[in-house]
Amino acid sequence: MGKASEVVLALKPVTFRYKNGKKGMPQFGLIAADVANVNPDLVVRDRNGEIYPVRYDAVNAMLLNEFLKAHKKVEEQQAHFSELDFKVATQERLIAQQQEGLKILTAQIKEQAAQIQNVSAQIEMSKRSTQVTVNSL
């Protein structure tokens, strides 16, 4: 059916009551004249060419086709979402690993800064003791 069934998306379902039917019993359907405007092949015409009933069998087949197309699209989207979920989980693991690595690097940098400060202090003490010795001579 391909795109031929897309015409059902233009149909406007209505609620109505038959003039000579059970009072208060709502009916659901389509207005034949409106259906004929959307697709003349979806109505039956009498000998005079007047619009008679809607061909609900054809409308139902078209609805089924549109449902199947939508269902296929949903399945494709679900597969795509599953793929995206996997990628997100992979990226979250990578981010967690990188954050752990940053913590380790930060600790190492702090340790090295402390060691540099100790060495600087020792060099400063060494310079002072050298100056005191030179001044004493």
DSSP code string of the chain:
-GGGGGGGGG---EEE--TTS-TT--EEE--HHHHHHH-GGGEEE-TTS-EEEE-HHHHHHHHHHHHHHHHHHHHHHHHHHHHHHHHHHHHHHHHHHHHHHHHHHHHHHHHHHHHHHHHHHHHHHHHHHHHHHHHH-
Handedness of CA 90, 92, 95, 101 (dihedral sign): negative
> Which residue is listed with tokens 């078209």?
62
pLDDT digits (tens, 9 = 90+) for 15-67: 988 777 666 778 899 999 999 999 999 999 999 999 989 999 999 999 999 99
Position 131 scores a pLDDT of: 63
Cβ-in-10-Å burial (0-12, 13-18, 19+) of 65 comes to middle
Taking residues 84-102, report their average pLDDT. 98
- Identify residue 85 by its one-letter amino acid code: D
Is the pLDDT confidence value at 90 over 90? Answer: yes
Question: Which of the four pLDDT bands, split at 50, 70 and 90, describes residue 6?
Answer: very high
Residue bearing the bigger pLDDT, 75 or 20? 75
